[in-house]
Structure 1
Amino acid sequence: MILWMDGQFIEEEQDIKISPFDHGYLYGLNFFKTFRTYKGKVVLFQEHYGRLISTLNEYRIKMPYTIRELMEIIKEMTNKANGRDGKILLNISAGNQNKTLQFQSKYSEPNVIIFYESLEERKRGLVKSGRWLKTKKDPAKYNNKYLGSLEIDNIEEVEGFFTTPKGYITDGLHSNIFWVKDQILYTPDSILGIEEGVIRQWVIQTAKILGYRVIEGVFFPKELETAFECFITNSVDEIVPISNIGRAKFLGENGPLYQQLHQAYIDEILKTIREAI
């Protein structure tokens, strides 16, 4: 693990201290993005950064680092990792507020931490099973992800699928959900409080270019279980086909749209490696 906080690298064995007066700790004003590198570069990093800035602006938290500065930090982290690509967690917390126990009109000195964990190399073609979770999705509570994760024994092979208390499909433990039937790509609507990942938006746009109709809506599990294809997306695992959910079987890695999107994303990676920001 390589750690960077507020302008300097920190040895892993050192103590990392966050004040109890940090409003990220006190009031949950804490935001993060997770993604990975490819030869030291991040695919769609402009989009990741833009979404983060949009969220921070909503809460009047100033981001003290530009996208170029962050990429330089990530490049240095990659060098410290001997060139190995890594999974990155970029965390922004509202910051210390001089021991005031009340909200501020703006936060100009947030705490910024970057965690870099080297990724083990693995062959492409990861396939998972899906499982409906008993834990219901509550957008107001991040800890339902923890509760849902307790239902999954092997996260490398199985992804948990959330539904709302009314039974609508939302998203996965660590992903956005898609399924295909009759040349139509379906995915849960953002009104359900899903986490709108950058790869989710990329998939929607790319599928339209490939000639698929895309419907974002409110769906019950039975509607997904009758699909031909099902896959999940996130910025670390990319696009992962789902082979089955219980007795419902899908095309998995043989799904036509999955294969097209998979190749298109490889092309996006190669483009990112070739080009500078």
Structure 2
Amino acid sequence: MYIYLNGQIIKEEEAVISVFDHGFMYGLGLFETFRVYQGHPFLLVDHLHRLRKGLTELQIQWDVTNEQVVDAIQQILHKNKLQDAYIRLNVSAGPSGLGLITEPYKDSTTIIYVKQIPEMVKEKKGVFLKIRRNTPEGSYRLKSHHYLNNILGKQEIGQNTELEGIFLTKEGFVAEGIVSNLFWVKDRIVYTPHIETGILNGITRQFVLKLLEEAKITYKEGFFSLDDLLSSDEAFITNSIQEIIPLYKIEHKLFPKSERHITRWLQKKYNELKHIL
């Protein structure tokens, strides 16, 4: 495959970055993953807005425009002969030598990875993880290179793609999936953990909340217990690659397909808009 590295389209095996890149040394880097549908990067503006906000927090200067990102994506899609793809846009602090610094980073490293969309499962089973969700490094969770907590969660459940591990906070509140946000429905009200629990405010999560608001479907964000989740009528997870995936079971709690009313409606709206927004 070909990737984008600092303005160049190169073969992935030829890609090289500095061993002094602070994205590698200290985890100072952010990334966005999103889908491209028939050449259209879905919700790209939202992803770039979150990325730039986080880079400002980390004092990483990044002068790439939206137009340049779109152009780079189109180039790697063309080079790889793809129209539907998985994209990861990665910006790290860049090389700055050994040791921590407090000055802004002015030589960031930009990489755009691309791969074919893997075969997606239609539904998943949720399992509660023993390892707890770590707290954000700053005032809120960034989509950063600090991924050890997620990896340990994934190691706990293994490679089964039909499972999604569900983190709890250290206090025992429901948090999020390893790579997803979590929603459930009780009596036609949609529930999801508040970002103050320390979860990532996912772009697809934000999109779902906007759809619910526009349709005047009541939703509540908060600090919820296991009983709140396990007494619900339907449940689903979201992320930008897997889209909206129903959970047919969480531990021993079954969610009948016949109860997936809001999940199916959201999936329908997503499919209507994924080539547009």
TM-score relative to the length of structure 1 = 0.91
Runs of 4+ in 1 over 3 A off after TM superposition: 251-254
Aligned to 1:197: 202
Distance in 2, Cα, partners of 1:270 & 1:84 = 12
Distance in 2, Cα, partners of 1:188 & 1:94 = 31
Aligned to 1:275: none
- Superposition deviation, residue 172 in structure 1: 0.2
Aligned to 1:216: 221
State whether structure 2 residue 66 is matched by structure 1 residue 67: yes
Secondary structure of the residue that 1:115 maps to in structure 2? strand
Return closer, same or farther for 1:253/1:237 CA change in 2, 3 Å cut-off. Answer: farther
Deviations 1:124-160 (A, max 9, x none): x711111111111103463111111012234421111
Aligned to 2:39: 40
Gaps of at least 5 residues in structure 1 are: 273-277
Once structures 1 and 2 are overlaid, which stretch shifts more, 108-117 or 153-162? 153-162
The one-letter code of the counterpart of 2:110 is V
Instruction: Give yes or no for contact 1:130–1:159 (8 Å, CA) kept in 2.
Output: yes
State whether structure 2 residue 140 is matched by structure 1 residue 138: no
Instruction: Give yes or no for contact 1:128–1:240 (8 Å, CA) kept in 2.
Output: yes
Report the identity percentage: 35
State whether structure 2 residue 148 is matched by structure 1 residue 148: no
Distance in 1, Cα, partners of 2:262 & 2:179 = 21
Secondary structure of the residue that 2:12 maps to in structure 1? coil
- Superposition deviation, residue 12 in structure 1: 2.4
Gaps of at least 5 residues in structure 2 are: 138-145
Aligned to 1:207: 212
Instruction: Give yes or no for contact 2:33–2:86 (8 Å, CA) kept in 1.
Output: yes
The one-letter code of the counterpart of 1:77 is I
Instruction: Give yes or no for contact 2:134–2:149 (8 Å, CA) kept in 1.
Output: yes
Distance in 1, Cα, partners of 2:258 & 2:214 = 21
Q: What is the RMSD of the two structures over their aligned residues, measured on CA atoms? A: 1.8
Instruction: Give yes or no for contact 2:42–2:275 (8 Å, CA) kept in 1.
Output: no
Aligned length: 268
Aligned to 1:76: 75
Instruction: Give yes or no for contact 2:38–2:275 (8 Å, CA) kept in 1.
Output: no
The one-letter code of the counterpart of 2:134 is D
Distance in 2, Cα, partners of 1:159 & 1:266 = 23
